[in-house]
C-alpha cells in the first residue's frame, strides 16, 4: 500500500482555503484570487483530484469490473454530498426569506423550489459554487475507461482523446447546448466540461505514471524549468497589469472554456511545482491544511453552505469595513472549516471501531462523532464507554 503523501493533503487544504476566501467575497479575495497568474484554485484542485484518483487505485490492473466498482463507490459518495447540499440550500431558501432575494438566485427561471431540486438531482441545474461536485462526479465515472486504457499501454489514445475534446470545447460548450435545448432556465454550471476534462486527465495520467510506472521525476530537464519560469513570470506581470496586453490576449486566458493561454499558464506552474515539491519530503506538511485536505469532500461541501449562509453578512463586511476587519472576519470563517474535518475524522474512527458498516452503524457513528468531535487518536469504543 502506498504511503500517504502529506504534501498533497496540505496542498488540497490550501486550495480549499483559497476557494473559501474567494467565494466568501471579502476584500481578502483581492490577494487570493489567481495571485500568481491566470491559474485558479479550482483548476489546481481538479487536477490534483485526478492525480489522487489514479494514485489511490490499484497498481496492478484489477480488471474493468473492479475499476468500475471503485469509481461508482467514489462517485456515489460525491453525489450524496451534492444532493444533501441541494437539500440544505433549498431549506435556506424556503425557511429564510433573506435568501429569496439573492442577487444570484438558487432557483431556475422555471420550476421554483421543486425545479431546483429535480433539475439539481439530474445535474441539470447547478447554482453558484455548486458546479465542481457534479463535474467531479462525471469525471470519476469517466476514469475507469481511461485507467484501463493506460494499463493496456494506450497512453496516446488517452492523451490524444483528451486534447481533441479540449479543442472541441473551444468551439462548443455542452452545458450551453443543454440549457438552450431544455429551455428551463436552469444553469448547468460555468465550467465547460469538454475543456476542463483536460485538467482531470492530466492529473490522472500523472498519478498513473507515479503509482504504476514509478515515474516521479516529471519535467526534470533544466531548460524546461527556465522556460516555465519565464512563462510564469510573464503571466504574473500581465495578471497584475504590470505588462500591457491587448484584449485579444485576455480573451485567451478565459477561465470557463480553459482557453489556450490559460492552459499554457497552468502548464508552466505545474512544471515549477514538480521541481519545488521534490524539495519537501512526503512525510512533511502543514497540520491544519493537511487536516482539511484529508477530508476535502466534507470540507468543500461545508464551505459552499457557509458561503450561502453568510452572504448577507459577507458583502456588508466587504462594503462597509476596511482590510483589518475583513481580515479578522475571513480568518474567523476559515477557522470554522476545521469543524467538518474534525467531525468526519471522529466519524471514521467510530465507524472503524463499530465493525459492520450498516445504516444503523453509520447513524450510531455519526451520533458518537457529534459527541466527541475532538477525539483525536482515541478509539471510538473508549469514547463510548465514558
- Note whether 221 and 362 are same-domain residues: no
- Note whether 351 and 277 are same-domain residues: no
Does 383 have pLDDT greater than 80?
no
Does 377 have pLDDT greater than 70?
no
Confidence label for 381 from pLDDT (cuts 50, 70 and 90): very low
Instruction: Using the structure block, give the residue that is written with the C-alpha cell 469538454.
Output: 194
Boundary (domain end) residue, out of 289, 324, 349: 289
- Note whether 244 and 373 are same-domain residues: no
Kindly state whether residue 269 falls inside one of the protein's structural domains.
yes
Kindly state whether residue 312 falls inside one of the protein's structural domains.
no
pLDDT of residue 104: 55
Kindly state whether residue 333 falls inside one of the protein's structural domains.
no
Kindly state whether residue 218 falls inside one of the protein's structural domains.
yes
pLDDT of residue 254: 94
- Note whether 283 and 348 are same-domain residues: no
Kindly state whether residue 308 falls inside one of the protein's structural domains.
no
Kindly state whether residue 171 falls inside one of the protein's structural domains.
yes
- Note whether 92 and 172 are same-domain residues: yes
3-state SS class at 231: helix
- Note whether 69 and 184 are same-domain residues: yes
pLDDT of residue 379: 46
Q: What is the pLDDT of residues 52-75, one digit of tens each?
A: 999 999 999 999 999 999 999 999
Lowest mean pLDDT among 34-48, 82-96, 128-142, 191-205: 82-96
- Specify the higher pLDDT residue, 312 or 80: 80
Kindly state whether residue 247 falls inside one of the protein's structural domains.
yes
Q: How far is CA 338 from CA 21, 286, 299, 370, in A?
A: 15, 14, 8, 14
- Note whether 258 and 375 are same-domain residues: no
Boundary (domain end) residue, out of 252, 269, 289: 289
Print the domain residue range for 28: 6-289
- Note whether 245 and 361 are same-domain residues: no
Does 374 have pLDDT greater than 60?
yes
Q: Percent of the chain at pLDDT above 70?
A: 92
- Note whether 26 and 170 are same-domain residues: yes
DSSP labels, 244-302: ---HHHHHTT-TTTT-HHHHHHHHHHHHHHHHHGGGS-TT---HHHHHHHHTHHHHHHH
The predicted model gives 293-310 an average pLDDT of 94
Measured between alpha carbons, how far is 126 from 175 in angstroms, rounded to an integer?
Answer: 11
Does 385 have pLDDT greater than 50?
no
Q: Give the N- to C-terminal CA distance of the chain in Å, as an integer.
A: 34
Longest dimension (CA), the chain: 68
State how far Cα 346 lies from the chain centre: 23
Q: What is the pLDDT of residues 356-371, one digit of tens each?
A: 567 777 777 777 777 7
Among the listed residues 57, 114, 126, the one whose alpha carbon sits nearest the alpha carbon of residue 85: 126
How much is the mean pLDDT over the chain? Answer: 88
Q: Kindly report the pTM of this predicted structure.
A: 0.91
The total of other beta-carbon atoms located within 10 Å of residue 275's CB is: 18
- Note whether 247 and 356 are same-domain residues: no
pLDDT of residue 105: 66
Does 349 have pLDDT greater than 90?
no
Lowest mean pLDDT among 90-94, 200-204, 251-255: 90-94
Q: How far is CA 174 from CA 15, 39, 73, 150, 180, in A?
A: 27, 23, 26, 26, 10
pLDDT of residue 386: 39
Kindly state whether residue 68 falls inside one of the protein's structural domains.
yes
DSSP state of 58: -
Contact 155, 208 (CB under 8 A): no
- Note whether 81 and 208 are same-domain residues: yes
Give me the number of domains the chain comprises. Answer: 2
- Note whether 173 and 41 are same-domain residues: yes
Boundary (domain end) residue, out of 265, 289, 313: 289
User: Nearest 5°: phi and psi at 297?
Assistant: -70, -50
Amino acid at each position: 500500500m502506498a504511503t500517504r503523501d502529506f504534501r498533497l493533503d496540505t496542498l488540497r487544504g490550501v486550495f480549499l482555503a483559497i476557494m473559501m476566501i474567494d467565494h466568501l467575497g471579502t476584500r481578502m479575495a483581492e490577494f487570493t484570487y489567481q495571485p500568481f497568474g491566470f491559474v485558479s484554485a479550482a483548476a489546481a484542485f481538479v487536477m490534483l483530484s485526478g492525480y489522487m484518483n489514479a494514485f489511490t487505485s490499484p497498481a496492478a490492473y484489477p480488471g474493468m469490473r473492479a475499476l468500475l466498482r471503485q469509481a461508482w463507490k467514489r462517485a456515489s459518495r460525491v453525489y450524496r454530498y451534492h444532493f444533501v447540499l441541494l437539500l440544505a440550500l433549498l431549506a435556506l431558501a424556503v425557511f429564510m426569506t433573506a435568501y429569496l432575494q439573492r442577487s444570484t438566485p438558487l432557483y431556475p427561471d422555471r420550476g421554483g423550489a421543486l425545479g431546483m431540486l429535480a433539475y439539481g438531482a439530474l445535474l441539470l441545474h447547478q447554482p453558484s459554487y455548486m458546479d465542481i461536485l457534479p463535474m467531479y462526479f462525471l469525471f470519476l465515472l469517466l476514469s475507469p475507461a481511461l485507467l484501463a486504457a493506460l494499463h493496456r499501454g494506450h497512453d496516446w489514445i488517452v492523451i490524444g482523446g483528451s486534447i481533441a475534446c479540449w479543442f472541441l470545447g473551444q468551439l462548443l460548450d455542452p452545458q450551453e447546448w443543454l440549457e438552450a435545448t431544455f429551455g428551463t432556465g436552469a444553469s448547468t454550471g460555468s465550467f465547460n466540461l469538454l475543456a476542463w476534462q483536460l485538467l482531470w486527465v492530466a492529473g490522472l495520467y500523472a498519478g498513473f505514471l507515479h503509482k504504476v510506472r514509478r515515474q516521479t521525476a516529471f519535467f526534470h530537464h533544466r531548460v524546461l524549468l527556465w522556460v516555465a519560469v519565464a512563462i510564469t513570470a510573464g503571466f504574473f506581470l500581465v495578471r497584475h497589469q504590470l505588462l500591457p496586453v491587448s484584449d485579444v490576449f485576455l480573451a485567451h486566458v478565459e477561465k470557463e472554456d480553459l482557453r489556450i493561454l490559460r492552459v499554457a499558464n497552468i502548464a508552466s506552474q505545474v512544471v515549477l511545482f514538480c521541481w519545488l515539491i521534490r524539495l519537501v519530503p512526503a512525510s512533511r506538511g502543514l497540520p491544519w491544511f493537511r487536516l482539511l485536505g484529508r477530508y476535502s469532500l466534507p470540507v468543500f461541501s461545508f464551505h459552499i453552505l457557509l458561503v450561502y449562509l453568510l452572504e448577507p453578512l459577507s458583502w456588508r463586511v466587504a462594503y462597509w469595513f476596511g482590510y483589518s476587519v475583513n481580515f479578522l472576519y475571513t480568518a474567523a470563517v476559515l477557522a470554522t472549516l476545521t469543524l467538518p474535518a474534525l467531525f468526519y475524522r471522529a466519524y471514521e474512527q467510530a465507524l472503524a471501531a463499530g465493525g459492520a458498516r450498516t445504516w444503523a452503524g453509520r447513524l450510531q457513528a455519526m451520533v458518537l462523532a457529534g459527541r466527541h468531535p475532538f477525539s483525536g487518536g482515541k478509539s471510538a469504543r473508549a469514547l463510548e464507554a465514558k
